[in-house]
Amino acid sequence: AAVAIVQTAQGKNLQQAITVGDLPDDPTKVVGTLAGEVGTRSSFEKLVKKPSDISSRSPLQDFYGMITPSDLHFERHHAGVPTIDPNKHELLIHGLVEKPLVFKLSDLKRFPSVSRIAFLECSGNYRTGKETLSPQEICGLTSQSEWTGVKLSTLFREVGVKPNASWFLAEGGDAAVMTRSIPVKKGWDDAIIAYAQNGEALRPEQGYPVRLFLPGWEGNTSVKWLRRLELSDAPFMTREETSKYTESVNGKIRQFSFDIDARSIITYPSYPQRIEKGWVEIRGLAWSGRGKVVQVEVSTNAGKSWQLARLQEPILDKAHVQFRYLWEWKGESTEIMSRVTDETGYVQPTYQQLIAARGADGGYHFNAIASWQIKPDGAVLHKPEK
């Protein structure tokens, strides 16, 4: 087992060799690796995102708990991950403000700060169509971190947002120069200009050195590598809020569909796992962009009846919550699934309900219940929807 982690950082090498050589037969008889500067994963753990060119999906089926390791947070970008010098990067706020201001990263860090644990989900986070799909493939474009930054409201006070400002443009410093129009109200409510994630600086894939973070809203609106906010009296109708991130609904096109509808997914047991007869703790994640998860129900008989799952505290606002349900599996063929109810009374719909409500065009914000087929040999397969 040869294991090493090498981080070449601006000319400085950090090297942390955990083990190079053979595995000891008896680890109690050899002194282990001495303390180091940076830890690493065990070489036995192979956690990887599933990348395409434009996105990379979190391995939900491999996770425990509600925090996503930062290096496994899903990625979605429209022109790659830029490399940004944090000492040069600035955030400009202008437009309908009393006083347009430019903030260095160090300025942003000096403002009163706030931290919150919240999910971030891409609204294009749904796959179905074959049995051999894992949670990562079905909906791996959701992850959760503890985000730290300055409230946008604090910066709004500083620049003096004018009363007639109703929208603002958020613009990234990546090669897509990503732009979204956001209602000013969200900025006053709970938007964060985030510079940290899970205890440390944002990771490059998550917007280093600074991003917008809009709790509960579709991921694309939380513009990464943020360089500019322009206050305005109208939305800007950027490509990302017209050609993309809009849904064809019954012949119309739904726009500015910001909220992430409540959703849940069983991550254990799931494909490609296998179960054995006996007690199985069904585990999963549930979340809502509209507030708190109120309950999660689990069905172990293909939806004929539903039982309340247990929720792991703390149950946080606009956050992934772990749910668990203890099930004795006797070897029968069946289907298991979960559905969440959020604090607005919204109940996660079936695929068929969504199609009935929206028409058959699919598209963004597809939060349907996902079912797992349990085979008599313990195999677990996704149930493709149609």
Partner 1 sequence: IASDTAHFPRSFGLGRVATQVEIKKLDIDVRPDGKGLPIGSGISAKGKSIFELKCAPCHGIGGVGGPNGSLVSSVPAAGKRPERTIGNYWPYATTVFDYVRRAMPFNAPGSLTDEEVYHLTAYLLHANKIIDETTVIDAKSLPKVVMPAHQLFIPDNRKGGPEIK
> Does the footprint of Co ion cover residue 219 (CB under 5 A)?
yes
- Whether 94 and 100 have beta carbons less than 8 Å apart is answered as yes
> Does the footprint of Co ion cover residue 220 (CB under 5 A)?
yes
Q: How far is the CB of 122 from Co ion (least distance, A)?
A: 3
141 is in the binding site of which of a second copy, ligand HEC, partner 1, none (Cβ under 5 to 8 A by kind)? none
Site for a second copy in 342-381 (CB under 8 A): none
Site for Ca ion in 193-232 (CB under 5 A): 205, 230
In the stretch 253-292, what mask flags binding to a second copy with x, by CB under 8 A? --------------------------xxx-x---------
> Does the footprint of a second copy cover residue 14 (CB under 8 A)?
yes
Closest CA to 185 of 152, 212, 213: 152
> Does the footprint of Ca ion cover residue 245 (CB under 5 A)?
yes
Q: If you search the block for the tokens 């849904």, which residue do you land on?
A: 247
Contacts of 242 (CB under 8 A, 6+ apart): 255
> Does the footprint of Co ion cover residue 218 (CB under 5 A)?
yes
> Does the footprint of a second copy cover residue 212 (CB under 8 A)?
no
**Cα→Cα distances 349→11, 234, 251, 340, 366, Å:** 52, 33, 21, 9, 10
In the stretch 42-71, what mask flags binding to ligand HEC with x, by CB under 6 A? ------------x-----------------
CA distance 187 to 153: 6
CA distance 94 to 103: 11
Site for a second copy in 55-74 (CB under 8 A): 55-56, 62-73
> Does the footprint of Ca ion cover residue 257 (CB under 5 A)?
yes
CA distance 103 to 205: 22
CB nearer to partner 1: pick between 75 and 259: 259
- Whether 173 and 206 have beta carbons less than 8 Å apart is answered as no
Burial string for 50-79 (b: 16+ CB within 10 Å, else e) reads eeeeebbbbbbbbbeebbbbbebbbbbbbe
State which of residues 254, 331, 379, 385 lies at the interface with partner 1 (CB under 8 A): 254
Summarize as ranges the residues that interact with ligand HEC (CB under 6 A).
54, 78, 176, 239, 243-244
